[in-house]
Amino acid sequence: MSEYGNATYWNEIYDLDLHSNATTQGNDGEDEFDEKILSYSKKNRFLDVGCGDGSFTLKVAESAKEVVGIDFSRRAIEHAMANLANSNRNNVRFENSNVDNLRFNQETFDLVYSRRGPLTHGSKSLFEARRVLKNDGILMEITIGEHDKENIARIFGRGQMLGSEKVSILKDRMLRQSGLKPIEIKDYIATEVFPTLNDLIVRLTDSPIIPDFDRVKDAAHLDKVEKECMTKKGIETPSHRVIIVARK
């Protein structure tokens, strides 16, 4: 099982509670995606797949009728429940659940969305998303593109997206095979800048960019990254995102 789909891995990451300093130059689609979600949220029922600590789920709930956040990481849901307890929201609930086996009736939600989560990772998740969407409901996701962190992955000789098929083509095919109708699939490529090597190390530690990353065992790779990718601004690397919008 890949780290991306390993609940134990993500439980450990949430226990670390790491934060990396980085800036983004250009439009990576993240803000645009959030705006799209919020524009749909009035008086609708939403499902947030891979909700993490629930921060964005709670933001959506400010104008939505109801939002359910799910995550297969038990620790993520514990963080989300703590954030919910500190909010004044009564239209949100969080569940430790897997998108491949949703515990909801068919045609429950107006919109199912995911921010770099597992919503479109396979046929089971897409089947479940389609099942719980109301007729004419919307699926939205922002996911990682094939060029993300490409220069770093090539130096390491491994990476979660290294050698991947073009993501926009892959997702279009998967959506159509699941019976969903693609409305928009759009690529965004920006530059992410890590001020120091340690900032990059933190990111590689708290995300599955480089499978089985170990700062000691990978010391030679890190040295090479610093030599080849460091600029006056910091270590520069592509940030590639793909926004997906489809209709049932």
Which residues of the chain are under the pLDDT cut of 50?
1-3
pTM: 0.91
**pLDDT tens, position by position, 154-181:** 999 999 999 899 999 999 999 999 999 9
Look at the block and give the residue holding tokens 């790779």.
221
In the chain the beta strands, taken as DSSP E runs, fall at 23-25, 45-49, 66-71, 92-96, 109-115, 133-144, 181-194, 235-247
One-letter amino acid at 8 equals T
Question: 47 near 110, Cβ under 8 Å?
Answer: no
One-letter amino acid at 196 equals T
Is 178 buried (19+), middle (13-18) or exposed (0-12) by CB count in 10 A? buried
**pLDDT tens, position by position, 123-133:** 999 999 999 99
